[in-house]
Amino acid sequence: MSVEKILGDWKKSKFKPVYWLEGDEEYYIDQLVQYAEHHILSEAEAGFNLTVFYGKDADWTAVINACRRYPMFAERQVVLLKEAQQMRDIDKLEAYIEKPLASTVFVVSYKEKKVDGRSKLAKLLKDKAELFTTKKMYDNQLPDWTGELVKSKGYTITQKALLLLVDHIGNDLSRIDNEVDKLLVNLTGRNNITEDDIEKYVGVSKEYNVFELQDAFAKKDKVKAIRIIQYFESNPKAAPIQLILPSLYNFFSKAYMVFGQSASDEKSVAAAIGVNPYFVKDYLAAARNYSYAGIEQGLLLLHAYNLKSVGVGSAGTEDGALLKELAVKIMS
């Protein structure tokens, strides 16, 4: 069952006795827990009928006793068990899950992992509870997800601004959501987020970023590459070498894949190598400017400089110096 289906049922006052929310993606779990805590019950009902436990401090007998209480002056009560993955003897909840009380909505937040599928608890949850399992979104899904998020809030975002935002934050849906809300608060009389907004309110330069560095490498623009690297030297938090090298390696890997494609149109190539169509021209340019052997050599150099960045064969060399040296060697 999806988040939307569960929330839709709750808004229609359709409840099951036990909801077990587990997995690696906290964003959706937090969404459901937040709604359960603040919207299932009215403010007046919550005073008597909302109980919140935290796994690290919770005693299983207290949790079960709370679940077995009847609601006061309300149709139902809500019991939340947050951070349940930290709870000792969590398997002792089996007794309640097997025979839950219909007037209790018991919501368990079990983050970062899943219950062992071979256990009795896992089998019980499949039979007796609403089991909601999340997993981390793939990085290549983040732009589309973020674009839909912005759209759902009644706004639009330029493609470059979208990619700058996602690349800067990474695979953290909660933080992306928070940053989008921060951007929207600062928009005055506009409903479109631009790269200028990302630069001003998120702190990502629209000229000096990993995408622009990739563009410089693709075009063999040594002057531009060195200028961006110098910016990174002066602003170490903007793009640490541990972020830059994997991004460049991924870029050259995708450019390497271009040589195996029979299709020539940009849309088909983008789909085949798994890149955003907005940037496919950069990969095609790299393939043209370097040739098959040049891309292959670039990948070997990136691997070597990744080792140097962690001190293998180059102890004490500054990150900026390594990147400049790498740029010169690849573009030569």
Q: Which residues of 185-219 are buried (b: 16+ CB within 10 A; e: fewer)?
A: eeeeeeeebbbebbbebbebbbebbbbbbbbbbbb
Instruction: Report the percentage of the chain scoring pLDDT > 70.
Output: 100
**pLDDT tens, position by position, 295-320:** 999 999 999 999 999 888 777 789 99
Angle (nearest 5°) at CA 316 between 314 and 319: 85
State the Cα–Cα distance between residues 130 and 238, nearest whole angstrom: 43
**pLDDT tens, position by position, 206-227:** 899 998 999 999 999 999 999 9
Secondary structure (3-state) at 81 = strand
**pLDDT tens, position by position, 232-275:** 999 888 889 998 999 999 999 999 999 988 877 888 898 889 88
**pLDDT tens, position by position, 39-79:** 999 999 999 999 999 999 999 999 999 999 999 999 999 99
- What is residue 304's predicted lDDT score, i.e. its pLDDT? 94
Residue 142 confidence class, pLDDT cut points 50, 70, 90 = very high
State the Cα–Cα distance between residues 114 and 133, nearest whole angstrom: 8
Question: In angstroms, what is the C-alpha Rg of the chain?
Answer: 25
Q: How many CA atoms lie within 13 A of 12 on its CB side?
A: 8
- What is residue 140's predicted lDDT score, i.e. its pLDDT? 82
Secondary structure (3-state) at 303 = helix
Quickly count helices (H) and strands (E) in the chain.
16, 7
Q: Which residues of 89-118 are buried (b: 16+ CB within 10 A; e: fewer)?
A: ebeebbebbeebbeebbbbbbbbeebbeee
In this prediction, residues 13-23 reach a mean pLDDT of: 96
Q: Which residues of 305-325 are buried (b: 16+ CB within 10 A; e: fewer)?
A: bbebbeeeeeeeeebbebbbe
What distances in angstroms separate CA 162 from CA 39, 157, 187, 192, 278, one per listed residue? 32, 6, 15, 11, 11
- What is residue 267's predicted lDDT score, i.e. its pLDDT? 87
State the Cα–Cα distance between residues 205 and 248, nearest whole angstrom: 18
- What is residue 99's predicted lDDT score, i.e. its pLDDT? 95
**In this structure, what token pair is assigned to residue 169?**
């934050």
Q: Which residue ranges form the domains of the chain, and what is each CATH number?
A: 3-134 (3.40.50.300), 139-202 (1.10.8.60), 210-331 (1.20.272.10)
Specify the higher pLDDT residue, 201 or 140. 201
Question: Residue 130's CB: how many other CB atoms inside 10 A?
Answer: 17
DSSP codes, 135-173: -PPPGGGHHHHHHHHHHHTT-EE-HHHHHHHHHHH-S-H
- State CA 296 to chain mean position distance: 31
- What is residue 48's predicted lDDT score, i.e. its pLDDT? 95
Question: Residue 291's CB: how many other CB atoms inside 10 A?
Answer: 12
State the Cα–Cα distance between residues 237 and 220, nearest whole angstrom: 25
| Residue 90 confidence (pLDDT) above 90 | yes
| Residue 150 confidence (pLDDT) above 90 | yes
Global pTM value: 0.80
Asked if 186 and 157 count as a contact pair (C-beta separation under 8 A), the reply is: no
End-to-end Cα distance, the chain = 54
Specify the higher pLDDT residue, 265 or 195. 195
